[in-house]
Amino acid sequence: MPRTPGAKGVVGAPVEVTANQPEDFGLLGWTSDPLQATSTATTSLGSVNLVRWRCTKSGLVGHVGYLVTVIGTVLTAGQNFIGLYDTGESVPGQATQLGITGDQTANFGAAAVALPALVVPALVQAGQDYFWGILANGTTAPTLERASSGALALWNQGLAGLGVRTGTSGAGLTALPASIAAGAIAGGGASFVLTAAA
């Protein structure tokens, strides 16, 4: 969508945005521009890997996109999922699951771009933050594209709970929880690149 340049030197004038935005490509949001992906990381086994993203266009999220660069091995069928969570808007103090994919065992076992559907599309609002939650189970977890290989302390900057940009929660999980308490989220994990589409 074209953007109108702001008037230079005028206080309060619109600011020209030159960087690519999700809506430029028909997306509702992304954890990071896929063009900025600089590295990869392996997901945790049995823990929810949380990655924050901001919705830039209101609508129904029906699909999530991600890239597997190294396949998971001996993955456990029925125990691999990606879920959409809010950041405490539904119930303060917890991330509430808004949507979930079907089993991702086949996708986690293929080195390719995956665009799975959510079982039921979820409504998201522009300007609001959400988490994608990734759960993998098997002998070896899949490796996904990520945006940065920098220090966790830098991108989380002392944030905790529902405020983290990336985090992990739980251990020995075989299914994504319906909700995740703020106190159960530890800053960590990786800045996996995921996109949100209708």
Q: What is the pLDDT of residue 138?
A: 98
Q: What is the pLDDT of residue 66?
A: 97
Whole-angstrom Cα distance, residue 51 to residue 35? 17
Residue type, 196: A
What's the DSSP call for residue 93? Answer: T
> Residue 140 forms beta bridges with which residues?
73
| pLDDT category of residue 16 using cuts at 50, 70 and 90 | low
Residue type, 20: N
The mean pLDDT of 73-96, rounded to a whole number, is 97
| pLDDT category of residue 76 using cuts at 50, 70 and 90 | very high
Q: What is the pLDDT of residue 140?
A: 97
User: Which one is predicted more confidently, 19 or 130?
Assistant: 130
| pLDDT category of residue 196 using cuts at 50, 70 and 90 | very high
Task: Work out the widest C-alpha separation in the chain, in whole angstroms.
Answer: 60
Whole-angstrom Cα distance, residue 91 to residue 23? 28
pLDDT at residue 109 greater than cutoff 80: yes
**Number of neighbouring beta carbons within 10 Å of residue 39:** 14
Whole-angstrom Cα distance, residue 195 to residue 22? 8
CA torsion sign, 84 to 21 to 6 to 155? positive
Whole-angstrom Cα distance, residue 70 to residue 82? 17
Q: What is the pLDDT of residue 18?
A: 58
Domains and CATH numbers, the chain: 22-197 (2.60.120)
- Would you state the structure tokens that stand for residue 14, as one six-digit string? 């619109």
pTM of the model as a whole = 0.88
Whole-angstrom Cα distance, residue 26 to residue 134? 23
The mean pLDDT of 92-101, rounded to a whole number, is 98
Closest CA to 115 of 1, 21, 26: 26
Three-state DSSP state, 156:
helix
- List pLDDT tens digits, range 17-61: 557 888 888 899 999 888 888 889 999 999 999 999 999 999 999
Whole-angstrom Cα distance, residue 53 to residue 161? 15
- List pLDDT tens digits, range 150-195: 655 566 777 889 999 999 999 999 999 999 999 999 988 899 999 9
Beta strand extents in 25-58 (DSSP E only): 27-30, 39-42, 48-55
Q: What is the pLDDT of residue 25?
A: 83
